[in-house]
Amino acid sequence: MTQPITAELAETITKLVLEELSKVGLAPSGEPQKYVLVGISARHVHVNRAHLDVLFGQGYELSKFKDISQPGQFAANEQVTLIGPKGKIEKVRILGPLRKDTQTEVAPSDARRLGVNPPVSQSGVHHGTPGITLVGPKGTVVIDQGCIIAERHIHMTLADAEAFGVWNGQKVQVKIGGSRGGLMDEVMIRVRDDFALDMHIDTDDGNAFGLKTGDIVEIIKS
């Protein structure tokens, strides 16, 4: 069974990789760091308390399937069906813990399948976003906004940002190696001290560049 990449494991792997790169002169001591691990984020849902009650029953609590890269966050066992004007996608996993607002994050190919036209948006920014229908085992929720294509982003702590020489809200490029590599534009730096160092992209971006979770890419400051 493949071991999930937790925040602690990602941090350990990153440190080991950077140490090895430094030994061969690719990350000289005293220069800004460049390399970060990739996490591929499949379609998923965040829900609030009221909507979880409707979908799974009054007072229901999410159960953990596995930890994910960001501290305190987890993939839940619970799944829902997303329904849009043109189609549906079943078995879409909920991520915990509960949020203030319900949000669905889909890839562009998912959006076409559902028949919705969500903007590329930062998580939690719902102005101008379309709604969608969520169906659980106990009930149905219709949200009037909150369906997004998640902005490409890199989570960092304040110390990480200093080490990389970047700042919160900065847009950078990312250099990707391999047979389908290239430069990925418009990658947002997100800085907060409860984050773990990790780059998040959706499955469409991962497939386009031949990336998988745990791959290493290089930040290019534009």
Counting residues of the chain whose pLDDT is more than 70, the rounded percentage is 86
Domain boundaries, the chain: 7-40+151-220, 42-150
What the block records as the tokens of 213 is: 């979770």
pLDDT at 9 exceeding the cut of 80: no
Asked if 143 and 116 touch (Cβ cutoff 8 Å), the reply is no
Assign 110 to helix, strand or coil: helix
pLDDT of residue 23: 44
**Residue % of the chain over a pLDDT of 90:** 85
How far is residue 21 CA from its own chain's centroid?
26
Long-range contacts of 139-145 (CB under 8 A, 24+ apart): 139/54, 139/55, 140/54, 140/55, 141/51, 141/54, 141/55, 141/102, 143/51, 143/102, 143/104
Q: Does position 19 have pLDDT exceeding 70, yes or no? A: no
**Angle subtended at Cα 159 by Cα 158 and Cα 165, rounded to the nearest 5 degrees:** 85
Average pLDDT, the chain: 91
- pLDDT of 26 > 70? The answer is no
Q: Which residues contact 25 (CB under 8 A, 6 or more apart)?
A: none
What are the pLDDT digits (tens) for 37-51? 999 999 999 999 999
Query: CA–CA separation, 210 vs 212, rounded Å?
Result: 7
Of 3-12, 56-65, 87-96, 107-116, least confident by mean pLDDT is 3-12
CA separation, residue 94 to residues 77, 122, 217 (Å): 7, 18, 28
What is the CATH number assigned to the segment(s) 7-40+151-220?
2.40.40.20
Q: Is the pLDDT of residue 62 over 70?
A: yes
Taking residue 130's Cβ as centre, other Cβ atoms within 10 Å add up to: 21
Which pLDDT belongs to residue 48?
98
Q: How many CB atoms lie within 10 A of CB 41?
A: 23
* Residue with more model confidence, 7 or 104: 104
pLDDT of the residue at 16: 65
Q: Are 214 and 17 in contact (CB under 8 A)?
A: no
- Residue 32 pLDDT level (bands cut at 50, 70, 90): confident
Q: Of 16-20, 68-72, 148-152, which gets the smallest average pLDDT?
A: 16-20
Residue 46, number of CB atoms within 10 A of its CB: 21
| pLDDT range class, residue 213, cuts 50, 70, 90 | very high
How does residue 221 score in pLDDT terms, banded at 50, 70 and 90?
confident
Q: Which residues pair with 119 in a beta bridge?
A: none
Alpha carbons 189 and 174: distance in angstroms, whole number:
11
Averaged pLDDT, 179-190: 96
Q: What mean pLDDT comes out for the span 72-89?
A: 98
